[in-house]
Structure 1
Amino acid sequence: MRRLLLPVLALTACAPQAQPVQVWQGSGRVLLRDQSYRLTFTVNDQTHALRGVLENRTSGVKYLVDGTFLPVQGGAEVTAKVTAGDGAKLNASILGFGVSNVALKSDALLSGRVTGNVFDAQLTVNGVRYAVPFIRSP
């Protein structure tokens, strides 16, 4: 019986652990308009990879978030690319000249520091940085 128990314990130690979902609410003045956001993501504890969704609650648009959540003393540093994913694309032509597959939504960079239940974030869109502070939702 003891011989059987050791391999079972070794296998359960290697089993993937459930990653808790983190939900954050925030708002800021982005592109000259007040915007409300919900950030939902998971973090892989071994690789520190962050994956999730940033929802602009003002416009209803959802963006994919992919980056890192690196632990530092007193909190974590977040750096993540924000993309529109497979959103709408522009295809247009006039007199034989045109554009094809141009995304209508710009990609962005979300970065900042998490301390406790506060995420002091910067959202960089087209090279312009906007402060978007987030609070962790219960």
Structure 2
Amino acid sequence: MKRLLPLLALSACAPRPQPVQVWEGSGRVLLQEQLYRLTFTVNDQTHALRGQLQNRNNGVNYFVDGTFLPVQGGAEITAKASAGDGAKLNASLLGFGVSNITPKSDALLTGRVTGNTFDATLTVNGLRYSVAFTRMQ
């Protein structure tokens, strides 16, 4: 029994796995309907949100990093969606050029969760687009 006590103490300190939330939604971006899937986990203690935003029309995935703050009647989400370490543009002409430019822009995802809906705003290059998400899981 004495040997089990240290193991029990260690297991009590181990972080609990966080449930994965899956949201699907759509919004009109540059006159075209875009479909999105947002998948993330939330750390209950720090309210840190980590996950992935996928544009289902073109299959592009973005890393999502932000906060999921509980408020009365729901939660507020603020997260940066970044392209990550994908392809980079490196070009030069006559000694002048650009390097390490990503062809995909970062975005800011903000909004309010109420029940199973997430009314969001996706801001890309200073332009705002409304996206309505529904919780799938």
Normalising to structure 1: TM-score of the pair? 0.91
Alignment correspondent of 1:34: 33
Shift >6 Å, 4+ stretches: 3-8
1:18-75 CA deviation, whole Å, 9 max, x = no partner? Answer: 1000000000011332110000000000000000000000011000000000001111
Alignment correspondent of 1:64: 63
- Stretch moving more, 34-43 or 8-17: 8-17
Alignment correspondent of 2:17: 18
Counterpart check, 1:79 vs 2:78: yes
State, as a whole percentage, how many aligned pairs show the same letter: 77
1:1-24 CA deviation, whole Å, 9 max, x = no partner? Answer: 6x8887766544432111000000
Alignment correspondent of 1:53: 52
- Structure 1 Cα separation of the partners of residues 123 and 11 of structure 2: 42
Question: What is the aligned residue count?
Answer: 137
Q: Please, which runs of 5 or more residues in structure 1 have no aligned partner?
A: none
- Structure 1 Cα separation of the partners of residues 37 and 57 of structure 2: 10
- Structure 1 Cα separation of the partners of residues 7 and 95 of structure 2: 66
- Structure 2 Cα separation of the partners of residues 51 and 31 of structure 1: 27
- Structure 1 Cα separation of the partners of residues 117 and 84 of structure 2: 27
1:61-115 CA deviation, whole Å, 9 max, x = no partner? Answer: 0000000000011110000000000112111111111100111000000000001
Alignment correspondent of 1:89: 88
Q: How far is 1:127 from its partner?
A: 0.8
Read off the aligned partner of 2:97 and give its amino acid letter.
G
- Structure 2 Cα separation of the partners of residues 67 and 43 of structure 1: 9
Counterpart check, 1:105 vs 2:133: no
Read off the aligned partner of 2:15 and give its amino acid letter.
P
Alignment correspondent of 2:135: 136
- Stretch moving more, 85-94 or 57-66: 85-94
Structure 1 residues 87, 16: closer, same or farther in 2, change over 3 A? same
Q: How far is 1:128 from its partner?
A: 0.9
Counterpart secondary structure, 2:104: coil
